[in-house]
């Protein structure tokens, strides 16, 4: 059983007998229709795209609710296209890991083209052609939260961005620079309407994309590198939409257990590889069953009708904001970050296993129900308490989910301000609540600093996950060793007072000294992490 269109056609009965869901639409016809009049191009060819977005479009194509597929473009790691898409006719095996232990296997054929956003590659001309097409309704993105950053933590424009500002659209090389250049191509084609839709897991993602793109437009206009009307076009709500979205689906790296199961079926294309840029890719993806995508209804050229099924819904901005804050700031992401930090320190390699740990289970329950839930506004379309119930009782403990604390710990410095800082700010604004009641969120902050030291609770070194601020934070903690007694205020103060990291100055919020105290307990020696958790989460 080879992952290619020919094998699916010629050996259809074998695929079906092994329980694989196959495309029920004419792949060639859909491919031609999409190529000739594309409606949707997606940037970011990773797992969340294939497991959620492409899989949802696949189901809608099967049902006849859509007649066109997706075009995917990768602008960071071109090896993904070369190693996980084109050798397999752009097909993918999507494996859904259900909580009760069963799996669902579906061959996804909704992707009709895979392209590289590389100005030096012939694909780039095709992408420009797509952006010049009047039929294009949406360009969506899953390029990670840091993909929208054009400035460093101190507010300075990154050198690569400054280079693009000076080069103009024809010389843009950064990811956002290339997106701005493609949007300029659409402007040149007649100021055609379109929506740029961030589907990344970050707060007010549409505004972050808007800020980055408009910065390029303004600079290029100011420097006389583009038509003066480009900036007005980008800022015209009737021409270019930047909807907010909330996305939620756990899509871990390809898992060995899943590989073994599909190999027993006779499925041969199971090799997972690591690209030169560190991306883990495979011809298949595995993900949980639960999924949500709430999209602000802002589509100047009309929308692709994907709402109303499979967890996807269109809503107004206020509703999207409430759902996103519920999930990102309270009901899921903070719980994952807490488990990631302490899981690495305690030697866990599976998030699901951590929920068997009484202290860690109690930690996330307190963060979710006691400290977070009081400041959550009910969005109406999803119930916050039920959402947390599902997360704590079903999703995270799912033994079939091979997600790791090491993966989730990636880029933690970029997540703390949203995942916890917004809760602190909400407490500050509420006269009926006191920031001093937040006891476990500061314990997560202290745990993160302890994690950054790269020494586990047994005193053994480990390598922290990638993080753009890792070297900086490790430098601030330089000289602190396991077993030191402190005080550590002089070293910790510059970090804990950094609003860019935590969303607030923790000292001004009244949580700085408490975080220092927790940290001192966590570094007291081998076993100190466990003892500290037992002390506060008994």
The residue among 356, 391, 400 whose CA lies nearest residue 255 is 400
- Starting at the earlier edge strand, list the strands of the sheet with 292-296: 245-248, 292-296, 312-315
Determine the Cα–Cα distance for residues 37 and 232; give it in Å rounded to an integer: 27
Instruction: Judge whether 433 and 375 are in contact, CB under 8 Å.
Output: yes
Determine the Cα–Cα distance for residues 480 and 409; give it in Å rounded to an integer: 21
Paired strand residues for 309: 312
Share of the chain above pLDDT 70, in %: 100
The residue among 247, 515, 537 whose CA lies nearest residue 367 is 537
User: What per-residue confidence (pLDDT) applies to 281?
Assistant: 87
User: What per-residue confidence (pLDDT) applies to 330?
Assistant: 87
Say whether 98 sits in a helix, a strand or coil: coil
Instruction: Judge whether 5 and 91 are in contact, CB under 8 Å.
Output: yes
Per-residue confidence in pLDDT tens, the chain, 538 aa? 999 999 999 999 999 999 999 999 999 999 999 999 999 999 999 999 999 999 999 999 999 999 999 999 999 999 999 999 999 999 999 999 887 778 899 999 999 999 999 999 899 999 999 999 999 999 999 998 889 999 987 889 999 999 999 999 999 999 999 999 999 999 999 999 999 999 998 889 999 999 999 999 999 999 999 999 999 999 999 999 999 999 999 888 777 888 888 999 999 888 888 899 988 888 999 999 999 999 999 999 999 999 988 999 999 999 999 998 898 888 899 999 999 999 999 999 999 999 999 999 999 999 999 999 999 988 999 999 999 999 999 999 988 877 899 999 999 999 999 999 999 999 999 999 999 999 999 999 999 999 999 999 999 999 999 999 999 999 999 999 999 998 999 999 999 999 999 999 999 999 999 999 999 999 999 999 999 999 999 8
pTM here is 0.81
Structure tokens at 486: 């402190």
How many Å is the Cα radius of gyration of the chain? 24
- Greatest pairwise CA separation for the chain in angstroms: 71
Share of the chain above pLDDT 90, in %: 87
Instruction: Judge whether 22 and 16 are in contact, CB under 8 Å.
Output: yes
Instruction: Judge whether 194 and 137 are in contact, CB under 8 Å.
Output: yes
Give, as one character, the DSSP assignment of residue 238: T
Structure tokens at 480: 């602190």
Determine the Cα–Cα distance for residues 375 and 474; give it in Å rounded to an integer: 33
Instruction: Give phi and psi for 177, each to the nearest 5.
Output: -60, -40
Determine the Cα–Cα distance for residues 42 and 112; give it in Å rounded to an integer: 12
Determine the Cα–Cα distance for residues 314 and 322; give it in Å rounded to an integer: 13
Instruction: Judge whether 331 and 388 are in contact, CB under 8 Å.
Output: yes
The residue among 156, 253, 169 whose CA lies nearest residue 217 is 169
């Amino acid at each position: 059983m080879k992952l290619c269109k020919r094998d699916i056609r010629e050996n259809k009965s074998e695929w079906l007998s092994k329980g694989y869901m196959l495309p029920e639409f004419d792949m060639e016809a859909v491919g031609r229709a999409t190529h000739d009049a594309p409606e949707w191009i997606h940037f970011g060819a990773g797992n969340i795209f294939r497991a959620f977005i492409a899989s949802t479009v696949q189901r809608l194509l099967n049902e006849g609710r859509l007649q066109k597929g997706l075009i995917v473009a990768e602008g960071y790691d071109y090896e993904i296209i070369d190693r996980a898409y084109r050798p397999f006719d752009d097909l993918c095996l999507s494996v859904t890991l259900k909580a009760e232990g069963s799996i669902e296997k579906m061959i996804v054929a909704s992707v009709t083209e895979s392209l590289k956003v590389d100005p030096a590659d012939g694909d780039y001309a095709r992408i420009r052609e797509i952006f010049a097409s009047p039929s294009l309704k949406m360009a969506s993105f899953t390029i990670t939260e840091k993909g929208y950053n054009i400035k460093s933590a101190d507010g300075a424009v990154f050198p690569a961005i400054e280079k693009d500002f000076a080069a103009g659209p024809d010389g843009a090389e950064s990811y956002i620079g290339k997106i701005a250049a493609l949007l300029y191509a659409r402007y040149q084609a007649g100021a055609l309407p379109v929506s740029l839709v961030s589907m990344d897991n970050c707060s007010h993602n549409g505004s972050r994309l808007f800020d980055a793109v408009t910065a390029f437009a303004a600079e290029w206009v100011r420097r006389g590198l583009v038509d003066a009307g480009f900036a007005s076009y980008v800022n015209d709500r009737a021409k270019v939409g930047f909807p907010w979205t909330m996305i939620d689906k756990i899509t871990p790296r390809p898992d060995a257990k899943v590989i073994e199961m599909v190999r027993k079926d006779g499925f041969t294309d199971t090799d997972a590889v690591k690209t030169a840029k560190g991306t883990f890719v495979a011809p298949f993806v595995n993900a949980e069953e639960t999924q949500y995508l709430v999209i602000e209804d802002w589509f100047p050229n009309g929308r692709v009708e994907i709402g109303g099924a499979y967890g996807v819904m269109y809503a107004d901005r206020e509703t999207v904001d409430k759902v996103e804050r519920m999930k990102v700031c309270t009901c899921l992401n903070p719980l994952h970050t807490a488990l990631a930090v302490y899981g690495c320190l305690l030697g866990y390699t599976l998030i699901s296993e951590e929920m068997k740990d009484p202290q860690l289970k109690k930690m996330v329950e307190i963060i979710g129900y006691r400290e977070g839930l009081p400041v959550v506004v009910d969005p109406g379309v999803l119930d916050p308490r039920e959402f947390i119930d599902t997360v704590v009782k079903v999703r995270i403990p799912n033994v079939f989910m091979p997600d790791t604390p090491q993966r989730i710990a990636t880029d933690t410095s970029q997540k703390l301000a949203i995942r916890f800082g917004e809760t602190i700010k909400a407490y500050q604004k509420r006269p009926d609540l006191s920031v001093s009641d937040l006891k476990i969120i500061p314990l997560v902050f202290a745990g993160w600093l302890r994690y950054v030291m790269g020494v586990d609770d047994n005193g053994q070194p480990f390598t922290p996950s990638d993080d753009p601020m890792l070297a900086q934070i490790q430098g601030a903690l330089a000289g602190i060793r396991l077993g030191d007694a402190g005080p550590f205020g002089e070293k910790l103060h510059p970090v804990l007072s950094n609003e860019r990291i935590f969303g607030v100055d923790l000292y001004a919020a009244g949580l700085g000294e408490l975080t220092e105290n927790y940290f001192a307990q966590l570094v007291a020696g081998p076993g100190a992490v466990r003892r500290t958790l037992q002390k506060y989460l008994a």
